[in-house]
Each structure stands twice: as structure tokens, then as C-alpha cells.
Amino acid sequence: MTELRPFHLAIPVDNLESARTFYTNTLELEEGRSSDHWVDYNFFGHQLVIHYKDKINEALRTNPVDGKEVPVPHFGVVLDWDTFHSFAKQLKSKGIQFIIDPYIRFEGKVGEQATMFFKDPCGNALEFKAFKDMGQLFAK
């Protein structure tokens, strides 16, 4: 297997300052380089960039997964089990409005995982998840 390398993801935000406040203060991500139109973040060891872009009027799409309507597109990180639960608790204490509250998906089945979904202030959907057994990450 190849060494896992950090990914780079750039996402649009229609309000740079509110998005910056969210990613810096709510998610408590370390801010990197920035300009008047974009901000880099250390997203759990990966590079996330928020770019100012006028709002596109597109309806949020979903797909059914384990009885829930999962927003598409979305992005996030697979955390370790304990980090996921402490992060979920931290987000709840900050009043995050979850699209899908933290819960155990596929409980007792292949791919069992903790997951949660919420949006940033500009409507980008985020998913954070964790596996008790990381060997289940790509299990069939």
C-alpha cells in the first residue's frame, strides 16, 4: 500500500468572514496562508482551502444511507474513535445544527461507524466519521 498523503480540497464559500470564523473558532482549525479571497486550513493534517465565490442557487441533493438522507456533495475526515466522540461533544456544546446527529451507522454490520453531518455557514456539508476497527474502512 502506498503511503497515505494529505489531500488538498478547495471549497466555495459565499461569505469569507463567516466561513473563516466557523473554521477557525467553531472547528478550531489552524489557519495557514490567506488573502482577501481565500484561506488555507490544517484540516486534521490535510489542506482545506475556502475560496470566496458568489452563491450558486443549487438545491442540496441527498442519497439514502442507513435510513438517513445524506447530503451530496459532502466532505470530511475519518477520525479515531475517541477523537470523534470528543469532537461531537465539542460541536454540540457550540450549538452546531446537525443535518444528521452523531450516531452509529450500520450498527452490528460490516462497516459499522460513528458519523455526523452538519453544514458550514455557506452551506457546504461536512461529514466526520470514525471506525472502532479501522480495518472496516474499505470492508465489503
Record the cell numbers describing residue 86, joined without a space: 470528543
Share of the chain above pLDDT 70, in %: 95
Question: Would 28 be classed as within a structural domain?
Answer: yes
pLDDT in tens, 50-79: 999 887 655 558 888 889 999 888 999 999
Question: Would 124 be classed as within a structural domain?
Answer: yes
> How does 51-81 read in b/e, with b if 16+ C-beta sit within 10 Å?
ebeeeeeeeeeeeeeeebebbeebebbebee
- The total number of structural domains in the chain stands at 1
Q: Domain of 84?
A: 8-53+71-136
Strands 46-52 and 38-43, sheet pairing: antiparallel
One-letter amino acid for residue 126 of the chain? L
Question: Would 66 be classed as within a structural domain?
Answer: no
Q: What is the pTM of this model?
A: 0.85
Q: How far apart are CA 69 and CA 14, in angstroms?
A: 24
Is the pLDDT at 2 greater than 70, yes or no?
Answer: no
Question: Would 31 be classed as within a structural domain?
Answer: yes
Q: Please report, for the domain that includes residue 19, its CATH number.
A: 3.10.180.10
Among 8, 125, 27, 114, CA closest to 66: 114
